Each structure stands twice: as C-alpha cells, then as structure tokens.
Chains A and B, each alone.
Chain A
C-alpha cells in the first residue's frame, strides 16, 4: 500500500468539475431523433377491478402514435426476485398509482392530453391496507395466480402459502428459544412499527427505449444495475441478452431506489407499437406514488434475560410490507431480516420473517434494506431491557455485545469482531463519555440510574487507527437549556448496529496505453458515491501510477464487462477486487515486456515508484517500456474477475445522538450525532465521511419526519412539499470517527460504508428522546405531535400516581409498559 493511501489523502473526483459545470452526462441527456414522449395513466384506487378501458378518443388525437393497455401486449410479468409485476394492470389494479394504460406522443402535452381522453371504468374492491390484516387466513388473496410466477421460492418451502398474502417466509435461529425463555428471570416483549419512506434521490427515473428493425433493443436508463436489468428484460421479452444493450450515464442519486425494473418494459411496448424510440421521465408525484420506497414494517421482539442483565433468548417476528408487488426486491424478504436480533451474544434465538402483499405501493430497496427498521426496534428494545434490569444502556450493551470468536445471534461466524471497540469509541468520543452523571435527571424514577458512574472505556488498542471528522458547529446549548420561551430537555442516546460488506460478482479490464497511462473498464455505475474515483484509485495503487494517469470507461452493457450493480455496499469490495486483479494482470504483462527489453527474468525485475529495473542496470518507466515494445506487443489488456458469495466479517457501527426536546410542543432538535464506523481501511476518507454524514441526515429524516402515509391505501403525500426530508438547517453536527484495523474483504483490507452509517441513527435518537423527556415512541416517525401526546399521557399518569391511584408495577415475566404490551399473534 502506498504512502498516499496510508496517509488517507483525499482523492479529488474527476467528475466533480463536469457535474458543477453541467457537462456530466446523465440518462436524461441522451436523446434520439424522432423520439416520442411516453406517459402512463395510473389507477386512483388502491384495489379495483378494471371493468372497461376506452382508448378510442386518445388514439384519434393528433400527435399520438401509440396507446396501449394490457390487452395490446403479451401477458408477461417482471421482477428482480419474484416476477410478479405486470407491465400494465390486467383486470385488476392492486395499488393507487398502478399503470393502467400508456401513450406515446410527439410531446408531453399531447401525451397528457391523450391520457385525459382515456376513460377507465373501475369497480372498487375492499382494500387490504394493513399487513397484519392481509396475512390473516381468510383475507382476500391479492395474487391468486402466484404459482405461475417465475422464481417463486416460497411455494416450494411452505405448501398452502400461495393461498395467502404471504409472499415469502423464513424462519431460523440458534439454540432452543423456548428453553432460553424458560431459564430467563425477566421476559419483555415490545412491538414497533416503521413507515414507508422514499429514498430521496433528486434525479427521477428516466427511460428511453429504441426497438430496431434488427430486433435489437437499446435502452438508456438511470438504472444502477444495468446488467441485471438487461438479464431481466431478456427474460421478459424472450430475447437473447446480446440483443439488448443498456446504456447509462452518471446517476443522480439512488439510495437503493434505482435498482428495480421501472418504466423499461412499458417503454419497450410503446416503442414496438409506435415504431419510434420512446422516452419516459417520472414526475416527482409519480416517484412518491409509484416508485419503490422502503418497506413499512411491524416488528415484535421478545427477549429473556437473567436478573444481572445477560441475554438468554430472543424471538423476533418481522413483517415487511411488500405492497402490491415484491418484484423490486432481489428477494422479497430483504437482508435486514437477519439483523433483527441485534449485535449481541444470545444463545437461543428465533426469527420469523414475513413479506406480505397489501394494496399499497410496491416496496423496494432503500439504503441498507431492512436495517433501519429492525435496528430501530432492536436498539429501542435494548434500552428498554437495560432499564428493566437497572443498568445504564451502555453498561447493558457492553455486557451483552458480541465478542471476538462468538457466534452471531443469527448463527453467523465472523472474523475480527470489532463491536466492543466500536461502541467504546463512540462513548469515548461523545458527550456520553464526558457526562458521568448521565442518569441524574429528575422524572426518570428508575432504579440504578441516578448518579451512576459510566465506566471509562479502555483506550483503543494500538493496532487500530481512527480518523476524525467533525462537521457543523459542534456547539451545544447547556443541558436542560432554558430560555424564557420554553423548556427544552436535553437527552443522549446510543445505538449499535452491524451490516456486512456487500457480495456479488464483477469483471473488469485494465488497459495500459502506449504512453503509460491506463484505463479501467468496468460495468459498475456511479450513483454519486464516487465509485469511479475509488476504482481508478485501486488500479493506480496496483499499477504504481498516479491517480491522474488512470481513466475510467463504462457506459453500456455491450462494451463493459459484467458487474452486478452498485448496491448493497459492494462496489469497493467486489468491483474493486476485480479491478485490482485486472490491474495486477496488466502489470504482469508489462513486466513481461520489460523483461524482454532488459533481458532479465521476472524474478530479477523490480518495479518501484513507477520505475522498472533490472540487476544489470537497465531501467524504464511504464511509458518507456510501452513505447519500447513493438506495435504488436504493446497491447496490454489485464483481466480480472471476482465473486464473493459468503461474507466472513461484518462492519459495526455505533452512534450517540444528542437531542433537545421541546416539552411544550414535542418538537425534537437533533444537536449532534457522534458516529463510529468500523471501516477496515478507509481508501478515500473524505468520501467515507460524506457517506456517514449523508446517512446520519437520512437516518434522522426516517426517525423524525419522513413518511408516505396512506389512508385506507390512498397515498396522502403526493408532493415533495409534503414529504419532509431534512433541510440543511435541520442537520445536526456530525462527528464521525472511522475505526481502522480490523480488515475486511475489500481491496487493501477495506470494509464498506455506503449503507453502514444509517441504521443506528433512528434508535439513537429515539433513545435520546426517552432520556430527555421520559417518553418512548414505538412507531416511526417520531413526530412532534406523537411526542407531545406521549408527554401529556405521562403527565396524566404522574398526576394519577401522585394521587396514589397507580396500579401495581409490571412484575417479572410480565408485560412491559402499557404501550409496549401491544402484542399480536400471527
């Protein structure tokens, strides 16, 4: 590894200039002559039978080249995991926003006018709006034909499930959970709910499809997994993959939302029907209504503990609301399911995961699919358990946290478990470590907390290195800051999470040019993360060349080698390793040339600081060697292929959040988040820090404000004005620490950061709110209104208590507090 990397130098992204000046090419910048604008008519009803569609008037409108409904196209379904999505609704619509008809016209106005001329007669059907209701036996089945869908794993596993709305089910664990519960002194159960949220990318989905005379299909899109898209289109359209070429440019934000097949099939059929290229751009309203947001969940956690706080058993029931279709996911049960047990040592565990169809927008992948949901539940639950056994939340976590060599609660064996160090560093670097008397707060009324000393954590071991980055003012008002206007309670909370480095397969080519510069050719897309820079950097490191000498090419599936997409925190790891191997291969070929020129053997040849040297005293740079070899010899193409199927380590993440709760209004202000990430090795620290900051702000939005609410299946938010993503003034100060030293599977021992920084934020905030104001919110988002209501209820209870009306405390093996007890049977 070079000094440049060891020093953690900031790598300047080559595309920054292009992006700032507007030169960078995004999908919507592609244009084809004679293209038509496509628009779709969407269902206003969450569940309805389509009685009749009349398109006659639309077809007659001047400038309209094609109008299609399900009757005009083959009966195909698509999807990444389960192919359950129709191109256009056939007979029934399953969510408000589903495509019912499509038009292609000379311009957008004409296309919209054509839509307004289409009449659809619907017969409304009862709406399955709640996943728990939808999974009950006897509920109306939304996908009765599921048996015929492609890739349906479930049906083989659990017979009879096709008669229900459970799209997938999984059950696993370790030990014997019943035995564990029987040995427990205390058993607590809590149910949490999380909401549907949008990924929040700025650039809307764009698709342009050209169907040629020669049967070939050319697609321009901002899909971040173009090779997967190509594969799925080939299956849906019944074409060989070589007949489909997917082109892409930079992607204007993804956060998981750009990996699903979106408008490509409908554009294809419009293009077929019109004989012209057809392009479609989703509006912001369509993005909120019908893209592929984060799954809403209902999560029940039940844990058994010893009096001293040791965890013995945990049972998790996780219901992911798939919505109308699960096709946007590579697997209907998203990866977060496995993490519903937390990062603790628990000998007896059991997870039950369900993916449930309802009449709502189909859910998809969103930054760390499943993790923010399950960790909000697990880490809120953890604080509740700590309180029940009279331990400080930090002490309780230290007691139970997974240590090196231990089996994860879902049965995985990881190398280099770094959880304790991650947690300790978060405490040490945050206010938590400085405020000894964290428990000293009136109104807490809990044993064991008052004035308790927090153990000062041990120093970080010497083989670990940390990188500090502080953004924002990092200034805090004093605890329980009082102004004349109101009372603001200060609170601090923590959370510990874990997510592995992503897996998958990738191939790469590294070409060395005659001037000694090099090009990385890869099929990995760059959704704004700087992946091109990191891939160039990895090649530069292997080739011993400066970053500026390395260029990047990709752009279409016809030319670039296979890559399975920029998702699940895998590009630096998987594509990076492929690039590294390709660079090694290329370098080796140049070494051969040098040996031939110098008349020495590979063993004798040295290469250092860009200079090849032989023992005989010959030397030459990469450029000289390339130039000195004849035309037929100096064609250097290094090849690399890499596949990772099983993860052997994970990345831990701990956050401490500090909040102020305005106890009159219930408003929460997040002041500061201290985030520690177990990064292995930061290849480009500035880019890593950017991922951490973005994740914290996105995690805060998920915690406090963002929501796509529905009333009986009808979407209530259809404009970005009502979708409350955090703005710059809402952002907290983010103090980020990267913990290096526990190597991961990526190049140079790197781990991952794209998704790892998000899941701890919501529970850390929820726990801080509890610390500040004594109210525990079990369902996200934690709006001011919910906090206010909980505060009012608490005050009423307190008055009741003071009057001596309080009933007996919840006993051992009993239920937790009144709200927490909302138990449900499945």
Chain B
C-alpha cells in the first residue's frame, strides 16, 4: 500500500516517547483511525510513527469521587461509552462516544485521538467542552494543562506543540444535580460525521438551572463553546420559548460552512433545533429524577 512504509517506534514509557519526539518530529499513533487515513490519502508521508501502545499508564480510565474523571490517551470510545460511571455522571460524554462511527471504529479510536485530530465535528469534543474538560499535556519540561477552548485552534489545529504528548483528559466532578446530554444529527444512523451536534450541561437548583454550559459541533472551524447563550439560560426556569431563544442565539453565534453534507443555512437551523432539544432533554431527565426520588 502506498505510503504505508514507515518505521514504527514503540516506546514503553512516556519519557522514552518524549525522547523520540525530541529527536524527530514524528506523528503519534493511538487508534490510528484518523492517522492511517491521512497516510493512505497521501496527505502526510511520515518516515516513522510513534506508537503509544506499549505505555501501560495510558490505558487508564479512572474516576475519583470529588475530583472527577481521567481518560488516558489510549482509552477507546467503546470503553467510555460503556462505563457505568461515565453513563451516570457524564452522560453527554457516554452518549457522544457511543455515536462515533461504528463498532469497529469505537473499538479502535480513542477519545484523545478524537480531540487531537481537531475535527470541528468530533463527537467527543463538544460533549467534553460542555463538561468543562481539561487537557493534560506532557513535554520534556513537565506537565502543562489547558482547557479545551484554548486547545482547539482551527480545523486540524491544536495548541499541542512538537515534542508534546497528550497524556490524558480530565473532566471535573459535576456538582450535585448536574445533568448533561449530547445530540447528533447526520444523514444516517451510523458511520456518520455530524452535520450538527450539541451538548448541554447544567444543574437544577430549586427549579432553576445553574452552571449552564453549551457547546456545538460541526458549525464552526472548531468545536464551539457558547458562554453567551449559556449565560442567557443561567439561573432561569427554562420554558420552551426560552430554549427557542437560546437556539436562535446559538445559531447566530455559529459560523457554519456549506459542504457536501449540508448547507450552512441548514446547519444553522439545526443548531437552533438541537439546542432546544438538549434543553428539553435536561428538563425531562430532571423530571425523571424527581419522580424517582
């Protein structure tokens, strides 16, 4: 296969991996579902590839009460989607990971790879934005940490520099009463890159919604956090009209493009619909929880 001849570097510790990276600017391989495609399509011609697979610590998916979730660089979508704790505490993320590609892709593809690839449509990205995730980066001088809005710079562009490796993603423990949801819209039910996606997280305190975070996917050069729209919804008891207004606000803030999958206009309209539906879904889940208690 063309271009598929390269040296495979397989360090067994992060430090060793960092040494390789210091010596040569080679791409990092996790599940390979994005990287190998780029090579096959002739977009890059690497002479060597750095595989993380022999580094055991990167497989770690852990949760600590009060602190939150940590997703190691080799944690696949299927593990996140099926984790009971993620489903319970971070439902938007579990839903997003469950909607990635197909079973084969979810078995191979990683959440970190999904973020590092920096597609505006990456499913886990908008969910993680709405959940306030942080990216933990390792380089030769140590660890640096950044929030997701600072991480995404543009399509395929992140603030990761040469010689750096993402070690994990952390998601803070949600405050009591938090609910979250992820909705994705595409042309088919599987193997589908979103036309538009939305993630919403908020917690209900005495009938009002607080700590609202809203993110959209596939409607801008990067996955988009929308603090303006979130603040409109902050501290209120949501009504259908309010959610529609929020949808319009989110749509106005989005900057979609026309492409093969959908027109910019349709994407904007769908942003409006999905934001409203995310709100309705949270109201419904809160109602369900109340009924439960």
Contacts and interface: CB of A to CB of B under 8 A. Distances in A.
B187 interface: yes
Given A108-B2, A485-B280, A664 B273 contact: yes
B188 A705 contact: yes
Interface stretch (A161-169, A648-656, A720-728): A720-728
A680 B193 CA distance: 44
B239 interface: no
Contacts of A788: 266, 269
Contacts of A112: 2
Contacts of B102: 727
Interface string B1-25: 1110100000000000000000000
A480 interface: no
Interface residues of B, number: 26
A727 B273 contact: no
B277 interface: yes
A667 B280 contact: no
A784 B1 CA distance: 38
A728 B273 CA distance: 26
A667 B260 CA distance: 17
A484 B102 CA distance: 27
- Interface majority SS on A: helix, strand, loop or mixed? loop
Contacts of B277: 485-486, 664
Interface in A660-693: 664-665, 667
A485 B276 CA distance: 8
Interface string B172-201: 000000000000010111111100000000
Most chain B Cβ neighbours within 10 Å, of A486, A665, A721: A665
Contacts of B136: none
B281 interface: yes
B279 to A, nearest CB: 10
A598 B262 CA distance: 78
A452 interface: no
A665 B273 contact: yes
Contacts of A726: 188
A486 B273 contact: yes
Interface residues of A, number: 25
A109 B283 CA distance: 57
Secondary structure type dominating chain B contacts: loop
A709 interface: yes
Contacts of A729: 188-190
B187 A783 contact: yes
A693 to B, nearest CB: 17
Given A108-B1, A664-B273, A730 B189 contact: yes
A716 interface: yes
Given A484-B284, A717-B260, A784 B191 contact: no
Given A108-B1, A484-B283, A486-B277, A730 B193 contact: no
A667 B191 contact: no
Most buried by B among A112, A484, A667: A484
B270 interface: yes
Contacts of B270: 665
Interface in B98-152: 102
Nearest to A704: B187
A785 B263 contact: yes
A724 B266 contact: no
A114 to B, nearest CB: 12
Contacts of B262: 785
Contacts of A728: 190
A484 B280 contact: yes
B283 A727 contact: no
Contacts of A484: 280-281, 283-284
A781 to B, nearest CB: 9
A722 B195 CA distance: 12
Interface in A730-754: 730
Contact of B187 (A485, A709, A784): A784
26 contacts: A109-B5, A484-B281, A484-B283, A484-B284, A485-B280, A665-B185, A665-B270, A665-B273, A705-B187, A709-B260, A716-B260, A717-B260, A721-B191, A724-B188, A724-B192, A727-B102, A727-B191, A728-B190, A729-B189, A729-B190, A730-B188, A784-B187, A785-B262, A785-B263, A785-B266, A788-B269
Given A486-B277, A716-B260, A730-B188, 19 more contacts: A108-B1, A484-B283, A484-B284, A486-B273, A664-B273, A722-B261, A724-B187, A724-B188, A724-B192, A726-B188, A727-B102, A727-B188, A727-B189, A728-B190, A729-B188, A729-B189, A784-B187, A785-B262, A788-B266
Interface of B: 1-3, 5, 102, 185, 187-193, 260-263, 266, 269-270, 273, 277, 280-281, 283-284
